[in-house]
């Protein structure tokens, strides 16, 4: 069997999705998984795995962009990856054992949770207040972390509530393996509010953590596809040959867009969108 070109239209769609996802600091699979289920009619476990494989390349592209801006706290990111990767692998294994309808329900509920996190996102003034309080309380000479961005900006802070941060990241990692989403949304919120990491660094570091976690989870899913072979593997390859170049381009665009548009407006708009997508996903199960 040969790879087909029937999914060519996924290229421009992937560029758009990756641009929005990277700008918002959310995993692209959060968009792709329900899209593959609702629009392409893929089984949930195949849609989730294909979404994760696609997401890895999009986040790798965005990761490179953020690394050039020198906004990633690699030390913090690695401590979180030690927790998220094993949990993501566990979620991947569980996804292959759970019934497809149950998995679709879990995905729908997860999308509702993501939507609520977007709708509750702090506005620009509130984020500025967080950043200013972090700078005043933890940004002095006693700060444990010191970053100098590519623009010459100096960012000083001390990471708080590390155990809580690892616990939340672990839960997010489990959901990445299980339903392809959850980690980026949890990380961005808790790194800023609870771990007291400045907003720019929290988004960039979250991208680093999600990229590494999604890579581990996608490997597990790809092994399952390779073992299944036949039509399943052919479908996955026929999709990713278009989505991968799309998200690589979108990942570069997203990191630039993030600095030019209102983060609050974008995230609240996505919140409304994900409520609709979650309702459609759950509606398929009920109907």
Q: What is the pLDDT of residue 83?
A: 93
Task: Identify any residues that bridge with 145 across adjacent strands, giving them in sequence order.
Answer: 157
Mean pLDDT taken over the chain: 82
Confidence of residue 147 (pLDDT cuts 50, 70, 90): confident
Confidence of residue 81 (pLDDT cuts 50, 70, 90): very high
pLDDT in tens, 205-257: 888 888 888 888 888 888 888 887 788 889 999 999 999 999 888 877 776 77
Q: What angle do CA 214, 44, 188 make, to 5 degrees?
A: 35
Tokens standing for residue 65: 């962009």
Angstrom distance (rounded) from CA 223 to CA 226? 5
The answer to whether the CB of 203 falls within 8 A of the CB of 177 is no
Poorest-pLDDT segment among 27-31, 122-126, 156-160, 244-248: 122-126
Task: Please report, for the chain, the start and end positions of each structural domain, with discontinuous segments joined by +.
Answer: 10-286
Smallest CA-to-CA distance from 90 within 194, 176, 207, 199 is with 176
Confidence of residue 84 (pLDDT cuts 50, 70, 90): very high
Angle at which helix 230-257 crosses helix 199-228, to 10 degrees, equals 170
pLDDT in tens, 7-64: 999 999 999 888 887 777 677 788 898 899 888 988 888 888 899 888 888 777 777 7
Cβ contacts of 41 within 8 Å, gap of 6 or more: none
Tokens standing for residue 104: 């679709």
The gap from C-alpha 118 to its chain's centroid, in whole angstroms, comes to 13
Q: What is the pLDDT of residue 1?
A: 56
Q: What is the pLDDT of residue 71?
A: 87
For the segment 192-209, the average pLDDT, to the nearest whole number, is: 81
Report the predicted TM-score, pTM, of the whole model to 2 decimal places: 0.80
């Amino acid at each position: 069997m040969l790879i087909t070109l029937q999914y060519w239209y996924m290229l421009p769609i992937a560029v758009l999705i990756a641009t929005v996802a990277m700008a918002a600091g959310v995993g692209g699979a959060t968009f792709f998984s329900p899209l593959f289920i609702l629009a392409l009619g893929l089984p949930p476990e195949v849609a989730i795995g294909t979404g994760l494989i696609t997401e890895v390349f999009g986040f790798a592209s965005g990761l490179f962009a953020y690394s050039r801006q020198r906004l990633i706290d690699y030390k913090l990111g690695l401590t979180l990856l030690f927790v998220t990767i094993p949990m993501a692998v566990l979620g991947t294994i569980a996804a292959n054992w759970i019934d497809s309808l149950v998995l679709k329900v879990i995905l729908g509920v997860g999308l509702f949770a993501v939507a609520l996190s977007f709708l509750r996102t702090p506005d620009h003034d509130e984020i500025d207040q967080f950043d200013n309080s972090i700078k005043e309380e933890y940004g002095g000479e006693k700060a444990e972390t010191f970053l100098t961005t590519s623009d010459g900006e100096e960012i000083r802070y001390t990471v708080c509530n590390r155990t809580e941060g690892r616990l939340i990241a672990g839960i997010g990692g489990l959901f990445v393996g299980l339903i392809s989403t959850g980690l980026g949304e949890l990380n961005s919120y808790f790194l800023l509010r609870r771990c007291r990491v400045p907003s720019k660094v929290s988004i960039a570091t979250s991208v680093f953590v999600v990229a590494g976690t999604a890579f581990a989870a996608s490997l597990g899913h790809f092994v399952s596809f390779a073992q299944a072979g036949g039509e399943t593997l052919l479908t996955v390859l026929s999709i990713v040959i278009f989505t991968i170049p799309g998200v690589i381009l979108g990942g570069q665009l997203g990191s630039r867009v993030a600095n030019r548009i209102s983060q609050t407006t974008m995230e609240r708009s996505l919140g409304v969108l994900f409520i609709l997508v979650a309702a459609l996903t759950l509606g398929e199960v009920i109907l």
